[in-house]
Amino acid sequence: MGRLNWLRAGVLGANDGIVSTAGLVIGVAAATNNRAAIFTAGLAGLAAGAMSMAVGEYVSVSTQRDSERAMVAKERLELAQLPHTELLELAEIYEGKGLPPSLALDVAKALTEHDALAAHAEAELGIDPDDLTNPWHAAIASMISFTMGALLPLLAILNPATGWRIPGTVVVVLVALALTGYISARLGGAAIGRAVLRVVLGGILAMAVTYGIGRLFGTAVS
């Protein structure tokens, strides 16, 4: 669960870094050819986005961790106050999974004698008391992956050939999004084609919208 936590944060951060930064720099590039202005906007977006993702993941996962701790504490109290009731409850869980009643009770007793809290927390809550979600892992993974993802469109948009800046960035972004969609599908066991299509279409929509805004308001203001 801990590994899945930071992997999820990493994939989400990379995808957000690619899409948000691409949208930002393409929108600015549609309004001006000034490389310094494009770079400054992109760099500011990268820094703000990376910090925002890190803080958001930390707060979110910290809340989840607090909930897990509260559930484990409640389970520990119930084990201390109602050990027999909790034993029967654990046996019922294994019986519900297909074990004969007598065997389910024997398994529940053996697991309780070995580590009662771990057995009940895993069976009833799906939580490992010794491996709760870590907000720092999620925050750091999200910040690093956002930065790496954001660097791709930021570097691509700085192409000296003005006419190739936006097309080149679009190509780089679509390849990167396809890769993140593939990775997320493999991690989650989902259909690869559908996952790739979702992130690629989302990236195209984001870039199209920001490009249109840049062209419209850039021309109007200038």
DSSP-derived 3-state class of residue 199: helix
| Cα 47 to the center of its chain, rounded Å | 18
Place of tokens 């062209």: 215
**Helical axes 2-31 vs 135-156, angle rounded to 10°:** 30
DSSP-derived 3-state class of residue 127: coil
Confidence of residue 221 (pLDDT cuts 50, 70, 90): very low
For 108-132, the pLDDT digits (tens) are 888 888 888 888 788 777 777 777 7
Predicted pLDDT of residue 220: 45
Residue 121's contacts (CB-CB under 8 Å, 6 or more residues apart) are 71, 72, 75, 127, 128, 129
Q: In the predicted model, is pLDDT for residue 188 greater than 50?
A: yes
Predicted pLDDT of residue 141: 86
For the chain, how big is the Rg over CA atoms in Å?
Answer: 25
The share of the chain scoring above pLDDT 90, in percent, equals 13
Global pTM reads 0.75
∠ CA 207-208-212, rounded to 5°: 115
For 61-108, the pLDDT digits (tens) are 888 888 888 888 888 898 888 888 888 888 888 888 888 888 888 888
